[in-house]
Amino acid sequence: MTTSPTTTIGFIGLGIMGGPMASNLLRAGFDVIGYDVRPASVERLVAEGGKAAESVEHATAAADVVITMLPNFPQVEAVAFGASGVLESARAGTLYVDMSTIRPQTSRRLAAEGAQKGLRVLDAPVSGGERGAIDGVLSIMVGGGSADFATAEPVLEPLGATIVHVGPAGAGQTVKAANQLVVGGTYALVAEAIVLLEASGVDAGLGLDVLAGGLAGSRILELRRRSMVAREFAPGFRIDLHHKDMGIVLDAAREADVALPVGGLVAQLVAAARAQGYGSLDHSALLKVAEATAGQGGVTA
């Protein structure tokens, strides 16, 4: 199979990320048939020219390419392996691209069991957040076979600015885990920098402006330093999802037989943010944990 604008894409999971991704595929000229357990999300896709599916089976049976963008592995396993799920309903030769962030074991199982059914399976998690999804500029890390990646490229192009085949099945998820490790750790350290600057009577905004231009500079400092100093924590990317992702990081480390001591600490800081009731805030709310740990009440803007 080759992909072209006449390709029909079954898109399952039309949430914060999946909704705008499906819209971008429609705009690129693909035929998109969408399914979500929340009917309002499907209705939004239909208003933009997509088709509504009433079930996973309906979205899959009609499709040349199936994409899932679901919260976590239990949802992906239910949709893929369940009765009338993707594996049962897809035609042989269908390309199945799971773009959810999930544990690599599930991605490898999808690839192995999918292959037995004649499906071509890729794991293709993303980075770049809701803004990146809306603008079609996500970073997409793809695990799976080279020929399948080549087939998928025209479908991924309207979604991403950086699309890299990083290795065999599960490798995309491992790269995403590494991404979440670095992002979580960076937020934790920026939070501590703010605590130090403010507790020392130095203007944190000015301090971070300097850091952003030097070796400590990062995309996080570039995009989030002002909102952090102002204590604006509307998501963005929720602490709850980052907590899930740190679980994936630690599972992957255990499976690879390596210790990630800083990663373990970052996972506990994210868990603390959740335990303190900040699960629905942006992950930059790690600043609240840093403040509480340091015995600081925070300086409101």
Residues lying near ligand NAD in the complex (CB under 6 A)? 12-18, 35-38, 41, 69-72, 75, 78-79, 100-101, 126-127, 129-130, 237, 241
Residue number with CB closer to ligand NAD (207 or 236): 236
Tokens of 129: 């957040």
Residue type, 300: T
Nearer to ligand NAD, 1 or 37 (CB): 37
244 is catalytic: no
Residue 114 Cβ vs ligand NAD, minimum distance, rounded to whole Å: 18
CB of 13 to ligand NAD, least distance (A): 4
State which residue, 140 or 290, has the beta carbon closest to ligand NAD.
Answer: 140
Residue number of the CB atom closest to ligand NAD: 15
| Residue whose CB is less far from ligand NAD, 130 or 157 | 130
- Least separation in angstroms between CB 82 and ligand NAD: 8
Taking the complex as a whole, the smallest distance from the CB of residue 117 to ligand NAD amounts, in Å, to 19
**From 51, 176, 244, 288, active-site residue:** 176
Q: Which residues are tagged catalytic?
A: 176
